[in-house]
Amino acid sequence: MTPKPTIRTIAERAGVSPMTVSRALNGARYVAAEKRKQIRAIARQLGYRPNPSARQLRAWRGPKEMDCREFIALLIEKKDPEWANSWKHRSYVAGVQRRATQFGYKVQQVWVYEPGWNVGRIRRLLTAANIRGTVLFPNHYQEIPDDILSLVARHSCAVLGGQPSKSPFHFAAIDDFASARTAARQALARGYRRPGLALLGWIDELIDRRYSAGFMSVQQDLPARERLPVLRLSSFSPEEFVRWYTKHRPDVIITHNRRIAVDEWLRPLRVSVPRDVGWITLDVIPGDDQVSGLDTRSEFVGAAALDLVLGQMQRDETGFPEFQKGVFIEGVWREGSTVRKTFSKSAKAARVEEA
């Protein structure tokens, strides 16, 4: 049998030291671009594959014992200058940065619309830093600007936070379908029988109606008279919400975040949460133990996006992939005080069986 090629085999073929080969394969910036390209070509010809156990050992030892291999770009294409004040955006970014540190990379974070920046300047920055991998955090997942796509066209790239259908990059996102389904099931387990879903219409459209689809996958098992229409709000004003509530009288309301302030909007009707109506959010703010709902674990989504980029870099894959691969991170239920504590008889029986 032909022995497996090693770093030393590649070094002998390329006429360099094993250390140079290791640095070139790991993307170290202090190996000349042409030499790195030559070494990687020889590695492919020989069928070299890195030892996954060795890589795991390096990660296990921790970031303090790992030299920075190279930079990964995090391109943030959020048009609102207040994007950094969003706890969810900060959580996404923290997930990318922590995973990068774990594997010995540093993150070059770039806000595309920062004053003084333009596509040409960003391209020069990425080139000067010899960046091969990029996590793209777009403003709209279905309408990524062409000039932004051109920045990452030759990189290993993954999109953070949603599935881009028009630009088939790999992506990592929250499992919004599962979140809505879990929320509806939790409501029914507590004895609610008329759950209602209220959310901004454009939010549901942005995620290909995964919220409403997850909700309705549970709702369809209810009697027809208890299947309430989904409320797709056009804005955060309470008028549409109050009309919908007054007409359909849900006994528990599921929303996508706290900005739809159910308790505040219902207070003029002398309706209180949770005495008269339950409230479940699909996006619990970390550290908030008051509102019941789903912790979407955004930081895990950031880490998953970087994992997708690093995998492509190891395989020397760049540009649009042959097929799109997505990673959905499922949220976990967090108990709060906005739903009743009592469970239905069937739910109690199920808990006894599990015990």
Kindly report, as residue ranges, where domains of CATH 3.40.50.2300 are found in the chain. Answer: 71-167+299-330, 176-296+333-354
DSSP 331: P
Angstrom distance (rounded) from CA 112 to CA 118: 7
How far, CA to CA in Å, does 142 sit from each of 51, 145, 164? 38, 9, 5
How far apart, in whole angstroms, are the C-alpha atoms of residue 335 and residue 350? 18
Tell me the pLDDT of the chain (355 aa) as tens digits.
567 788 888 888 888 888 788 778 776 656 787 888 888 888 888 888 766 545 544 544 454 444 556 899 999 999 888 888 888 999 999 999 999 998 889 999 999 998 888 889 998 988 888 888 999 999 988 888 999 988 888 899 999 999 998 888 999 999 999 999 999 999 999 999 999 999 999 999 989 999 999 999 999 999 999 999 999 999 888 999 999 999 999 999 999 877 788 888 988 899 999 999 999 999 998 888 889 999 999 999 999 999 999 999 888 888 888 899 999 999 999 999 999 886 655 554 444 344 4
pTM of the complete model: 0.78
Cross-strand bridge partners of residue 173: 328
Which architecture does CATH list for 71-167+299-330? 3-Layer(aba) Sandwich (3.40)
How many Cα atoms are found within 13 Å in the side-chain-facing hemisphere of 215?
25
Which amino acid is located at 30 in the chain? Y
Q: What is the 3-state secondary structure (H, E, C) of 31-43?
A: CCHHHHHHHHHHH
Helix (H) or strand (E) holding 278: strand 278-281
Segment holding 172, helix H or strand E: strand 170-174
d(CA 114, CA 107): 17
CA distance 332 to 45: 46
Expressed in percent and rounded to 5, the helix, strand and coil fractions of the chain are: 45, 15, 40
| CATH pick for 7-49 out of 1.10.3720.10, 1.10.260.40, 3.40.50.1820, 2.60.40.1080 | 1.10.260.40
What would the CATH number be for the domain defined by 176-296+333-354? 3.40.50.2300
Helix (H) or strand (E) holding 109: strand 106-111
| DSSP H or E run through 173 | strand 170-174
Tokens of 32: 């000349």
Nearest to 280 by CA among 221, 349, 175, 192: 192
Ramachandran category for residue 104: left, alpha or beta (phi over 0 → left; psi -120 to 50 → alpha): left
